[in-house]
């Protein structure tokens, strides 16, 4: 059990990659604190972990608000006593060019995808320092390393996550806090279906695009969760400041 005795905080844990990671981390021995704005689905994930014999709680949390982030972290400390892993996974997408994107949507995407990492990390890092170290994993994207059509603010936000990750790794390495990010490609999640809806494209046609990758398919949340587990566990004890691409080879031909 790679996370036995550890405590992991997961944002966006009600569905998709966050849900798969919460369940995997629990099987690997971690106590799980889940944050999301979807109360029913988030509580279901926590209940599933508890019913399987694990420890978990769900906290309704808007990760773009400092008060909500602080309350979530304080509850984790109160219930579990420490924080070893922070998975900053909450994210949203708006498929648009800068010409068609509203200022409100720009601000919202940047707040959820980038600001939330800052808000949670600044509360969590002092607890990790007291505990002698920890691991932070942020969710970026393949589009944090290469641009994409009609995704201006999403690409901007995920590119920011990559460099924020590297800066944090430099700042906190001396405290034995490792900071890395994952860069998934197309993954079979509710957000991918939301992309198709925003673009007015049928799901089947949208997923067919994934078949053009070298591995010929979209990824699963469980496959991405395995990459998060690697970065969160002692298996990656000498890895920090990296952007781990998990995309079925989608960026293999990029510079």
Residues carrying an active site annotation: 154
| DSSP states of 149-212 | TT-HHHHHHHHHHHHHHHHHHHHHGGGTEEEEEEEE-SBSSHHHHHHHHHHT--HHHHHHHHTT
Q: Which positions ≥6 away from 240 have C-beta within 8 Å? A: 169, 173, 178, 179, 180
User: Do the Cβ atoms of 10 and 22 come closer than 8 Å?
Assistant: yes
* Residue tagged 């053009």 (tokens): 212
User: Do the Cβ atoms of 165 and 243 come closer than 8 Å?
Assistant: yes
User: DSSP state, 242?
Assistant: -
* 243's tokens: 């952007």
The alpha carbon of residue 231 and the mean position of all alpha carbons in its chain are separated, in whole angstroms, by 12
Q: Which of 87, 90, 76, 14 minimizes the C-alpha distance to 45?
A: 14
* Residue tagged 């046609």 (tokens): 205
Longest dimension (CA), the chain: 51
């Amino acid at each position: 059990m790679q996370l036995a005795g550890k405590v992991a905080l997961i944002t966006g844990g009600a569905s998709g990659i966050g849900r798969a990671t919460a369940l995997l981390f629990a099987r690997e021995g971690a106590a799980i604190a889940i944050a999301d704005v979807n109360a029913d689905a988030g509580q279901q994930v926590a209940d599933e972990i508890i019913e399987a014999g694990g420890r978990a709680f769900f906290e309704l949390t808007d990760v773009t608000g400092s008060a909500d982030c602080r309350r979530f972290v304080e509850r984790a400390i109160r219930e579990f006593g420490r924080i070893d892993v922070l998975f900053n996974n909450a994210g949203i997408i708006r498929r648009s060019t800068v010409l068609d994107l509203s200022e409100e949507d720009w601000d919202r995407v940047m707040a959820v995808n980038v600001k939330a990492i800052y808000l949670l990390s600044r509360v969590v890092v002092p607890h990790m320092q007291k505990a002698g170290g920890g691991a932070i994993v942020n969710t970026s994207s393949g589009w944090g390393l290469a641009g994409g059509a009609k995704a201006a603010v999403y690409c901007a936000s995920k590119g920011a996550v990559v460099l924020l990750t590297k800066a944090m790794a430099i700042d906190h390495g001396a405290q034995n806090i490792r900071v890395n990010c994952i860069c998934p490609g197309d993954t079979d999640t509710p957000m991918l279906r939301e992309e198709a809806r925003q673009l007015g494209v049928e799901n089947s046609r949208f997923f067919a695009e994934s078949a053009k990758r070298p591995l010929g398919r979209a990824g699963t949340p469980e496959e991405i969760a395995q990459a998060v587990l690697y970065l969160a566990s002692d298996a990656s004890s000498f890895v920090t400041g990296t952007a781990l691409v998990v995309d079925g080879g989608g960026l293999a031909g990029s510079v």
